[in-house]
């Protein structure tokens, strides 16, 4: 088994020491409890892993959800972001795919804020948005398309949300090849 190379990017983004981060993730994955001084030493690393949302724990049931897999090739419920969502942006401009960790984190936040939205809705809205692009210089990055934080911490701007509304309001018109958004 090969370790997921995406973890290096997440560790770098969240300032997690790679060796300590991997030790913590191995202990979670293989259900090996950290005890004594080791647990105390790794507590700040575990907190960073929680902030990075590599894994989520449901404290009510005790179940663990891996948002970013430990081993390469393993699937999780968010794998579609890297396999379907980001490649749509990459196909037009390799620099517009955004980082996997940022796209994943923002997509999860978006789904929490919009529980009625489904993966298929997001992919359809993304295809619609990308079909309107005539110059990739003005195309949003994949993570900014989901939402872009404004200066105020409590608000954000979401082009994805706008395109979901267009899909919801005009599904019949969108099947017409001559339909224009603007």
Give the separation between CA 67 and CA 74, rounded to whole angstroms: 11
Name residues whose C-beta falls within 8 Å of residue 124's C-beta, 6 or more positions apart in sequence: 167
The answer to whether the CB of 54 falls within 8 A of the CB of 47 is: no
* Residue 47 tokens, joined: 């907190």
At 105-155, the pLDDT tens digits run: 889 889 888 889 999 999 999 999 999 999 999 999 999 999 987 544 555
Q: How confident is the model at residue 182 (pLDDT cuts 50, 70, 90)?
A: very low
Residue indicated by tokens 């954000």: 156
Q: How confident is the model at residue 63 (pLDDT cuts 50, 70, 90)?
A: confident
At 1-55, the pLDDT tens digits run: 789 888 999 999 999 999 999 999 999 988 899 999 999 999 999 999 989 988 8
The answer to whether the CB of 105 falls within 8 A of the CB of 78 is: no
């Amino acid at each position: 088994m090969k370790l997921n190379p995406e973890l290096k990017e997440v560790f770098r983004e969240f300032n997690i020491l790679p060796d300590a981060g991997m030790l913590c993730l191995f202990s979670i994955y293989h259900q090996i409890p950290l005890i004594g001084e080791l647990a105390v030493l790794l507590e700040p690393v575990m907190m960073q892993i929680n902030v990075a949302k590599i894994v989520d724990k449901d404290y009510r049931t005790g179940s663990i959800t891996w948002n970013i897999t430990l081993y390469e090739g393993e699937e999780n419920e968010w794998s579609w972001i890297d396999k379907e969502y980001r490649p749509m942006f990459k196909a037009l401009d390799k620099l517009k795919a955004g980082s996997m960790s940022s796209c994943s984190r923002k997509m999860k936040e978006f789904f929490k804020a919009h529980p009625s939205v489904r993966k298929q809705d997001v992919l359809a809205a993304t295809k619609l948005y990308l079909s309107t692009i005539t110059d990739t210089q003005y195309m949003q990055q994949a993570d900014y398309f989901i939402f872009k934080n404004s200066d105020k911490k409590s608000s954000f701007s979401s082009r994805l949300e706008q395109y979901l509304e267009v899909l919801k309001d005009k599904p019949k018109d969108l099947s017409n090849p001559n339909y224009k958004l603007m």
